[in-house]
Structures are given as C-alpha cells and as structure tokens.
Structure 1
Amino acid sequence: MTAKVFIDGEVGTTGLQIRARLENRPDITLISLPEEHRKSRLARIGAFGEADVAILCLPDAAVHEITPDLAEMPVRVIDASTAHRIDPDWVFGFAEMAPGQRARIAGAKRVSNPGCYSTGAIALIRPLIDAGMIAPDHPVTINALSGYTGGGKSMIAEFEGGTVSGGFVYGTSQKHKHLPEIVAHTGMTRKPIFVPQVGHFAQGMIVQVPLHLATGGPAAAFAALQAHYAAGGSVEVVERAELGDRIDPQRLNGTNRMQLTVDGDPATGATVLIAVLDNLGKGASGAAVQNLDIMLGLDTA
C-alpha cells in the first residue's frame, strides 16, 4: 500500500527538490494539482483531504493562512517554512538532535522542518551544552557559508543572471530568521552572534562555531559529539583529516548526510566545531523526506 503525499508549493526550490526525491518511489503516490488550481484554496483543501501526509513549501504568511483549515483534518503535516519551528505544538524535525526525537517525529501529526543553518548550528552546540562543557548563557559565535540556492528563486536569479559576481556577508543586524530556533533547540539562554555568508556556488554549506574551552579543548569537544551521535542516523562525526586541508562546502551535495568534526589548538583550548551539509539536503528537502519516512514508518535507521 502506498502513502499519498501532497506537496503544497511544489514549484518552489524546496518543493521541486522534495518532488524529485519522491516521484520515482513505488511506496509514494504524489498528489499534484494542475497549474491553474495551485493557488485555489478549495482545490488545495481537497488535496489535503486526500493525502496521508502534506508537506508545506510555502512562505510563512501562507502557512499561517492555511494551517487553521488543517487543524481538524486527519492529514499529517510537515512544514518546511519558519512558521512553526519554535511552536511547542509542532515537533521539531531533526531526528538526531536528542534521544527520543525520532520517536516524537514518528508519532507526530505536525512536524516543523529545521532550517539549513540551524541544522548545523544545533548539531554542534547542543551536545556541548547537554554535556556541561559550555553553559547555556555562554557567549557563542556562529559563522556559516552557504550556496546561493538557500536564498530561493530571487537569489538564484541574482547569481545565475550575473547580478552578483562574488559572494557576500549578510544578516549582521542579528535578526536572522534561524536565530530563534537555534536558541530554542540548543538549550541556549543567550542569543548567539550569527554571521551568515553566501558563496558563488549553488549548493553546500559549512557551519563553524569557535570556542575557548578551558577543559579538554578540541579532544573533549570531539568526544562529546561522538557520544551524542553514537546512535548514527544521518549525522556522522569524523576525524578532521577526513575533510582535507581545505574543507569543501559541496562535499555532501545530493545527500541527506551531515558530517561534524572539530579542530583547534589543544595547548590553548581554542576549538572550532565544524558541520558540513547540503543546504538543500539535510538542510531542507532531504530532511523533509527523512521526516516523511519516519512518520510513515519507512525509516528505521
């Protein structure tokens, strides 16, 4: 028996990627609306009513507009927007984040898909807070580099149309939309300083968290990550040498994997936590499909 899935917003960047990952699977039947009906509320409600699981690939405002209509419907929902990532009534869809998170996703009716930057940041910071290596109010800085597809159709057009000749730094006002979920799901009580950058490449991402660790330094941080992710899944803790002298942000493109490592100076305790992932894979569409599989009982990793 196949599961029926409706992607609301299937022609956007994330929606197209999710569709591509699902359209040839024999265990999934995709519900799709004709182009002329994609913005019809009545047609969309009909598709939600037919689906076992719906994936919302919409702007936040559109998500808030449609979700009240879904409240009494049996369809289960994955929201790929920012709208519900800190909503306690929605389960955060990062299966490897903490013990029991996969089970919570499996039993949930409403799942919020994590953001790309926040997936890497949470993966690095939460294990050290849980292990007591850094305090929840520790001043943390997050530096990250992403491919331009993370900015959606408008940014893709800028880069591929030649408007942008190189990369750029943005979000320095510390109002980035991923900050609330980073704070909420790491256990931090102090908002970190977050400096995102966009490079002149389509997909891929590196997230870095530099820290001064008084005890243990890089080795202790690496051990904490290994212990936290011992159960496996899509997150792998690897030796720094495995990533090479120059870390390629595109090394995991096309996958739902994330690799974590640690570098630094043991003599001083200067430590750099590093995460590499595909911003459209584990950072977006790959995570949505992983959450879908968990909800349908198809992913037991």
Structure 2
Amino acid sequence: MKPKVYIDGQSGTTGLQIRQRLSQRSDIELLLIEEEKRRDVEARRQRMNEADLVFLCLPDAAAIEAVELIEDPNTKIIDASTAHRCADAWAYGFVELGDAFLQGVRTNPRIANPGCHATGFISIVYPLIHQGILTKDATITAYSLTGYSGGGKQMIRRYEAGGDPLLKAPQLYALGLTHKHLPEMKQVCGLKKDPLFCPVVDDYYSGMATSILLEADMEAVHAALAGFYGEGLVHVHPPGYDGNISANAHAGSDQLELIVCGRKEQTIVTALFDNLGKGACGAAIQNMNIALGLDPLAGLHIERGK
C-alpha cells in the first residue's frame, strides 16, 4: 500500500512546490483538501490523521497548533517552519551531517526541515568544527545571497511587479544581526557565540550563495570538507576553481556544492545551492523519502553519480 502524504499549507511558496513535485510521484498517495476547507480545522485534522506523513508549510505559530491536531504519535511530521528546529524532541533533517542525523530522520516521527540560510552556514561550519579546523568558541562571520522567492508570496509580488529601482540592486536585511536562522546555526554547530551573519536579497527568483571567510589554510579546509562528505546531496568542488560565483548557478537543483577558494591562511568557502531546493522543498522531499523508507533520491532534481 502506498504511503499517504498530506501538505498542511499547500498554497504557500514551499507547500505549492512540494505539492507540484509530489503530484508527479507514483510511489505515494497525495491527499488533497478542497480550497474552501484549507482553513477548516476539522477538515485539516481529518486529512492529517489519514496520512502516514504530514508536511507543515505554515507560519511558526500555526505549525505549533497544527502538531496538536495530529492524534497518532506515529504519524510522521516534517515541519518546514522555524518552530521546531531547536526542539530536543525533533530530528534535524540534514542527513549529510552524519549517521546520527540520518537515523533521526529514519526513526523520529518529528522532523524539522532546516532553514535555507542555515543550510548553507551549517554545511560549512559543522564539518570544520568536527574536523578541528574551527573551534566552538570561534567568532564566525558569514553573509548569504538569496533570490527573492525566499521571502514568500508578498516579496515575490513586489519584485515581479517592477517599478521600484531600489529592488534592482542587492539589499542587505536583518541588520539587527538577529536573523531567525541564527538559533539553529548556533545549536546544530555547537557554537558558544552567535555568528555574525548578514543576509542579502537580490533581483533573481531562486538560488543561494552562503559564504564564510576564515583565517585558515585553504588546502586544509578543502581536505577537511572533502573528507567529511560522502553520499548525499552535498558535494565539494575539486580544488582550482576559476571564475566568479553566481548565486543562482544551482537554481532548479536539489544539490549543494561547496567551493573553497583563497590562499594560505585566508580562505573563503561558499555553499552554492537553491533556496527552494536543498534550502527548502528538495530537503523536505529527501527527508520524506528517508522517513518513509523510499529511494532517498526519488523525485529530486539531481545529477546522478555526481
């Protein structure tokens, strides 16, 4: 029997893309809800309790409320919001970080999908701490470029309406240095201090480039990252990268590529991926596949064998 999957919040940017992708799958049964009932609590409760797995594509407060509607503790939940990413009872769905993360997604019915900026940051910092290149008390400075789709429907409308010349240039935001992804960056990496982190949104639809500058040997950093990652959606570019890095170069892909550049004792590492791919929908579908015992790469936009 095919596993049944329901998306609570099917009309948002993330929920809509997950729905579009899953509608093409023959190995699951996608449960839908009538448009007029998508805010009906009892109708949602019924669908969620029919499902083997539920995606929550909701604002934080609504995601917390939605969890209470699921009566079967064995029903699997993948929460795409920020609400449960630092909760002890939830698995953090970044399986390339190691066996503990993979087993968490396989066995824990509560899975928090990582944030997009956090995905880029953690993909670099976690292995460098694990491999001894960075210490947990380091002060880490990072910036992250994103396409405007990461801001949701309202931001998408603003950019696509045109007419505002200020939107044609990159815009720094969260200038109070309290971006909502900071708690998971700090907790997952085991950092003792908040990173110094600045996100930047620009006039392109999707794609992300998260960069960290380090006082560390470039070759040692590359070797540490290449030695850490095995199978999965995260890959380390071979040494000797030439040219510029475009933040939208991996738009449409569910993979993440780490690019190490610089010189002796000064290194820049960039995580290049799609904020809607490995930064959101792609990661959510990967986690669903693993949680339901399906092919981990089913339905993903990847280059097989890379």
Do they superpose with TM above 0.5?
yes
TM-score (norm 1): 0.94
One-letter amino acid of the structure 1 residue matched with residue 294 of structure 2: L
One-letter amino acid of the structure 2 residue matched with residue 294 of structure 1: I
- CA deviation vs aligned residue, 1:192-237 (integer Å, no higher than 9, x gap): 1001000100000000000112xxx0100001101110x2210001
TM-score (norm 2): 0.93
1:71 Cα deviation from its structure 2 partner: 5.3
**Equivalent in the alignment of 2:214:** 211
Residue 172, structure 1, aligned to residue 175, structure 2:
yes
Structure 1 counterpart of 2:272, from 267, 272, 276:
276
**Equivalent in the alignment of 2:25:** 25
How many aligned residue pairs are there?
294
Go from structure 1 to structure 2 and tell me whether the alpha carbon gap of 1:72 and 1:297 turns closer, same or farther (over 3 Å shift).
Answer: closer
Structure 1 counterpart of 2:260, from 240, 259, 262:
262
Aligned counterparts of 1:165 and 1:209: Cα–Cα separation in 2: 25
One-letter amino acid of the structure 2 residue matched with residue 56 of structure 1: L
Aligned counterparts of 1:188 and 1:74: Cα–Cα separation in 2: 32
One-letter amino acid of the structure 2 residue matched with residue 247 of structure 1: I
Greater CA drift, 73-82 or 87-96: 73-82
Q: What secondary structure does 1:100 align onto?
A: helix
One-letter amino acid of the structure 2 residue matched with residue 193 of structure 1: L
Aligned counterparts of 1:156 and 1:129: Cα–Cα separation in 2: 36
Contact 2:211 2:271 in 1 (8 A): yes
**% of aligned pairs identical?**
41
Q: Superposition pairs for residues 1-301 of structure 1, below 5 Å?
A: 1-70=1-70, 72-162=72-162, 163=164, 164-213=167-216, 217-229=217-229, 231-239=230-238, 241=240, 244-266=242-264, 269-300=265-296
Contact 2:142 2:211 in 1 (8 A): yes
Go from structure 1 to structure 2 and tell me whether the alpha carbon gap of 1:228 and 1:74 turns closer, same or farther (over 3 Å shift).
Answer: same
Contact 2:118 2:181 in 1 (8 A): yes
C-alpha RMSD of the superposition: 1.3
1:300 Cα deviation from its structure 2 partner: 4.7
One-letter amino acid of the structure 2 residue matched with residue 60 of structure 1: D
Aligned counterparts of 2:239 and 2:9: Cα–Cα separation in 1: 39
Go from structure 1 to structure 2 and tell me whether the alpha carbon gap of 1:2 and 1:209 turns closer, same or farther (over 3 Å shift).
Answer: same
Contact 1:252 1:277 in 2 (8 A): yes
Contact 2:7 2:57 in 1 (8 A): yes
Q: What secondary structure does 2:293 align onto?
A: coil
1:240 Cα deviation from its structure 2 partner: 5.0
